[in-house]
A and B are shown apart, each in its own frame.
Chain A
Amino acid sequence: MSTAPAIELKGISKAFGPVQANKDISIRVMPGTIHGIIGENGAGKSTLMSILYGFYKADSGEIFINGKKTDIPDSQAAINAGIGMVFQHFKLVQNFTVLENVVLGAEDSALLGPSLARARGELKRLAAEYELSVDPDALIDDIGVGMQQRVEILKALYRQADILILDEPTGVLTPAEADHLFRILENLRAEGKTIILITHKLREIIEITDTVSVMRRGEMTATVKTAETSPPELAELMVGRKVLLRVKKTPAQPGEKIVEVRDLNVVDDKGVHRVKGVSFDIRAGEILGIAGVAGNGQSELLEVLGGYEKATGSIRMRGEEIDLTGSRSDGQSRRRRGIAHVPEDRQREGLIMDFHAWENVAFGYHADPAYQSGMFMNNAAIREATAEKMKRFDVRPPDPNLSAKSFSGGNQQKIVLAREIERNPDLLLVGQPTRGVDIGAIEFIHQRIVELRDEGKAILLVSVELDEILGLADRIAVMFDGQIMGERLPGETDEKELGLLMAGITDTEREHSLAEVEAQLAHTSGRAGKEA
């Protein structure tokens, strides 16, 4: 007799207004397997999992857990059915200990003592069984992201989850931590747990899953055995056409020195030292990639260069000093000096979501004489310029009168890129150019950045995606804890070495155990916490 699938979804549909987020989706996941769900942003992955976890109610369709038809009206029902979820953004109480977080919501009685004691024993057992060791008495505030994620997994296991859903779990991890997470998942699978892994990283799917489902525009386009597929095939299934996974580029032809950054230091409002003595040069016609786990000073570095964070040190553009404080240090004066900036968070900074596309195309350049007529703004000229830029950057739909929020992530990013690149800057700052952007648009954006480089511009690329850095950059600097840990050439390094640098370990020749990486990370995260 064949066993029943751990999860079976039959004909799940869900619409939000006119948007069909899930269309007649059916999957079967056998117990003791890791099932990947891959798809572009907005493909409906998260909606599907939210239905499974009881956040949304499906318009139609049925859920079977271990062969039994189950109604999941809320997350408590999901937990009772043995489903655990690890969210992309952790749901932990920062000033509680690990133990308190694990017990929270699953206390046995009004008195906490017995629950905590039981949890302590249980954590010890789970730690031994799955390599899930954490210090039960550490405050969440004081432990790194990788550890926090482990706490989330422990929370689910403590609630006796047999089915674990992980939503983009590696987004915040260093490669070493991600490797360890995968080992944990393998251990869990060996113990018969069922795991659903939601990700947009093809490599992870190939590395760890047994089967994979591809979603596109709310539909499940394919479910295949991982062993029988390949990254290009999956990418094609996601996008619906063949895509170039790695941009084609010729070796850089570096010219004159465009920007010279020396001993840059940033101390933020809370007194935390965010950037510590950073120095680098970028020449015309080259891309300097800055790798690092999010929150290690890259954002502040971009903000300083972009003119909206104060710093000490010096920045020279073509040999001329740039003001780092005072009234002549703002976004407008930076733009006049030939620095264009595609910010990391386009929805928060790069665009005004409620403004029309044409208003956004003037954003930051709204003082441009070409956009004025007398005392008024020349809205007609801006609209016209927008229409042209939209055409050249293939923004869809090419309607300048739509508000920014009505475009997809990729098209929003194209609007920002069009605005900044078409200014013909000497230096282009690019932060996370493809975050939340679909694969098809990624290809386009990468090509544009390389084209700009080939026109002889200097480009500073900040990205947490190592693949992106390795694929685009001509030189790679790794930031950790506000410092540049080292510089490497993409042809002479690999993810493993960069991963160690990202964890602050510079003697990359030697073998390092995960414990060392963790100790290093815990050390700095604790320090940052105290400084804050």
Chain B
Amino acid sequence: MERMPKWADVVLIPLISLLLAAILSALVILAIGESPVEALKLMVSGALGSTYGWGYTLYYATNFIFTGLCVAIAFHARMFNIGGEGQALLGGLGVAIVLLYIPWPHWTIALIAAIVAAGAFGAAWAAIPAYLQAKRGSHIVITTIMFNFIAAALLNWALVGPLKAPGQEPATSSFPEATHLPTLGDVFGVFGIEWSHAAPANVSFFIAILACFALWALIWRTRLGYEIRAFGHSEPAARYAGISPTRIIMIAMLISGALAGCMAINNVQGEAERLVLNAAEGAGFIGIAVALMGRSHPFGVFLAAVLFGFLYQGGAELALWMNIQRELIVVIQALVILFTGALDNMIRMPLEKLFVAAGRQPPAPDRKSTSAEGAQ
């Protein structure tokens, strides 16, 4: 007997969490003397009310999809990759090197090259902690955190040293025109759809969606995904079945790092069109919340990423138009993370009891999205 219907697990619980976070946020806004209703209206109109708003929301969402998938795949192998931030920074470095030093004739080829470079750099940055975990038992949480700092320092060095463009700023020079990615406005324009050209969302968004599908197929449909999940659920069982822990740890972390690295095609190639300091802007950490809220399922990650994109863009609007400081926006985002991630069990347990008490039989298990757990 399963404990709870699938839909309650993947839909109801996040919604309740979100609602609680919203209520608490409303109280906070009320406490500083602003109207929560007005704030919500502003957030919605600012983030979703125009194609310009959507353009920003989806731009942020693209970042979070990549970092969310990064954390999710590691979760499936029961590893906590906190290094998404550093891996994304390194991905940016890879993108910058490839786009600056090789002349590309067209953005499509440049994009492919950038994906390869970003993935390779991100994966390489994850490979060292992964190797240390697999061979020496150094805890991946500790090593990936440390590698975030090393990545930041490395980027710092590169941007004031070898990669620095002439001028005052610690940044590379702008990438050549031919490597600039079309924005969603350009893309939709081809189909005659009106869409803002000013917002930074670009074709990387579609790459992110592709990544979701690819990761879903990998996890639930391939032998490798099966082995990763088996290892994540029980290492002794994996050993019994002849699944090599070293191999799984390495492969899962390489994929994880590559995904985080690929974020750079969005923020570095797509938006900034050059590499700047702290390019990842904390998206690597938001990825943890996104993966938790998305229950480590690629489609859940997608939805959670869009939500956090909305919070980011809506929050920026709040800071702009209301007497609500930027810091308070962070508080609201933190509340969402708190409720959807850390306090997940607070809602899950009573709800589970409720369902069990109601004695409801679960509907036939959904075959496409089999248990999206692994994030315990």
Contact = CB atoms under 8 A, between A and B. Distances in A.
A307 B242 contact: yes
Given A308-B240, A331-B242, A406 B2 contact: yes
Most interface-central of B229, B240, B359 (chain A CB within 10 A): B240
Interface stretch (A49-57, A184-192, A364-372): A364-372
Nearest to A368: B223
B222 A363 contact: no
A308 B237 contact: no
B168 interface: no
B365 A356 contact: yes
B227 interface: yes
Interface of A: 17-18, 306-308, 330-335, 341, 343, 345, 348-356, 359, 362-364, 366-367, 372, 375-377, 379, 401-403, 406
B1 to A, nearest CB: 5
A403 B2 contact: yes
5 closest cross-chain pairs (CB), A and B: A331-B242, A332-B242, A364-B241, A349-B240, A17-B356
7 contacts: A308-B239, A331-B240, A331-B241, A350-B237, A354-B373, A377-B222, A401-B367
A351 B370 CA distance: 17
Given A18-B359, A403-B371, A334 B242 contact: yes
B226 A406 contact: no
B105 to A, nearest CB: 32
Contacts of B357: 17-18
**Interface size range of chain B in the complex:** 20 to 34
Given A17-B353, A364-B242, A401 B364 contact: yes
Contact of B226 (A18, A359, A403): A359
A236 to B, nearest CB: 28
B237 A352 contact: yes
A375 to B, nearest CB: 6
Contacts of A349: 234, 236-237, 239-240
B282 to A, nearest CB: 32
B221 A308 contact: no
A377 B223 contact: yes
Contact of A335 (B2, B233, B242, B244): B242
A376 B353 CA distance: 37
Given A308-B242, A364-B240, A406-B2, A352 B227 contact: no
Contacts of B370: 356
B230 interface: yes
Contact of B240 (A306, A356, A372, A379): A306
Given A332-B242, A335-B242, A403-B371, A363 B365 contact: no
Contacts of B223: 366-367, 372, 377
Contacts of B217: 376
B356 A18 contact: yes
Given A308-B242, A348-B236, A354 B371 contact: yes
B242 A352 contact: no
Given A350-B240, A401-B367, 15 more contacts: A17-B356, A18-B1, A306-B240, A331-B239, A333-B242, A341-B240, A349-B239, A355-B233, A363-B237, A364-B241, A366-B226, A366-B227, A376-B217, A402-B2, A406-B1
Nearest to A335: B242
Nearest to B356: A17
A183 B237 CA distance: 41
Nearest to A397: B1
A330 B367 CA distance: 31
A348 B237 contact: yes
Interface in B1-29: 1-2
Contacts of A354: 233, 371, 373
B222 A375 contact: yes
Interface in B248-268: none
B68 to A, nearest CB: 22
Nearest to A332: B242
Nearest to B240: A349
Contacts of A331: 239-243
A350 to B, nearest CB: 7
Interface string B187-201: 000000000000000
A333 B230 CA distance: 18
Contacts of A366: 223, 226-227, 241
A352 B233 contact: yes
A214 B268 CA distance: 71
B234 A348 contact: yes
B223 to A, nearest CB: 6
A376 B240 contact: no
A355 B233 CA distance: 9
A381 to B, nearest CB: 13
A341 B371 CA distance: 27
A379 B221 contact: yes
A343 B2 CA distance: 25
Contacts of B239: 308, 331, 349
A308 B367 CA distance: 32
